[in-house]
Copies of this chain bind each other. A is one copy, B any other.
């Protein structure tokens, strides 16, 4: 049905303008580059790692004690190849990436990562149980695995954090950002998080690069564990890598939309109330809430029966 046609001359001109544009802004093209990581391949890899971590829930559904070994051998070989390839590309992508010994290094990292998956699963099992215990709306742990955004966000973070510790550039951030896109939960792969972690609902949660979270902590939607301000060097450039985010000790609960900023410590078992803005440390066992802000009520006539008084506490 389409009658659209670019004349050859116009087409050439458009192409020429674009080509000029490509070489004018060299940070946003990768022409004549070595192979790059593929966002799609890394997203797909993450899905396959979830199928490996939660067998039967995701990916192949007919797993039995009879076929599991064959399935694992096949999957591990396949995942090894993709990991090796994409990790290599991520190293290629760095400015000062050395070529010497790269293949051995990436082989080593890939093997170490695959060998860590059982440990990651142990942490994931503790997270799933924490979700079930922490939410009265959860009917069983199947529901948690199948339909809680925390499963996806925390699971992806745990895999990405492991890769980051093994020295892999770029890929960990592509993985956690994919989980952020799917869940609204933004956990930097550099964060340290203990076992039994749960985030309920989760949309809008931001956990910064240098935050530390102990065991059995719980956050609700919209919580920020962020930085107060960034130190700059003499040339006005931001200094990277300093500890600038909060530390939560074990068993801390932070309610919805609380904002906690700076390198402060929330002590063991402390509770931070919803919607508060916190920039000072809190001792263990302490509950911090906002002083209830004063509200203003304005009444107007309504063409309806007012509900009976017993409904209201004002």
Contact = CB atoms under 8 A, between A and B. Distances in A.
Nearest to A176: B147
A99 interface: no
Given A4-B107, A39-B146, A69 B19 contact: yes
Contacts of A81: 2, 4
Interface residues of A, number: 167
A100 interface: no
Interface string A279-314: 111111111111111111111111011110001111
A16 to B, nearest CB: 8
Interface in A144-172: 145-149, 169-170
Contacts of A77: 6, 11
Interface in A129-149: 129, 133-137, 139-143, 145-149
Contact of A302 (B62, B135, B284): B284
A147 B38 CA distance: 11
A16 B58 CA distance: 20
Contacts of A2: 81, 84-85, 88
A115 B14 contact: yes
Contacts of A21: 117-118, 121-122
A275 B259 contact: yes
B69 A15 contact: yes
Contacts of A140: 94-95
A27 B72 contact: no
Given A15-B69, A143-B173, A206 B203 contact: yes
A267 B31 contact: no
Interface string A70-90: 001100110011001100100
A313 to B, nearest CB: 5
Given A18-B72, A268-B307, A299 B278 contact: no
Contact of A286 (B4, B114, B141, B297): B297
Contacts of A12: 73
B257 A283 contact: no
Contacts of A115: 14, 17
A296 B288 contact: yes
A4 B269 CA distance: 46
A194 B215 CA distance: 41
B118 A20 contact: yes
A44 interface: no
A1 B169 CA distance: 20
Given A65-B32, A257-B259, A276 B295 contact: yes
A290 B286 contact: no
A206 B221 contact: yes
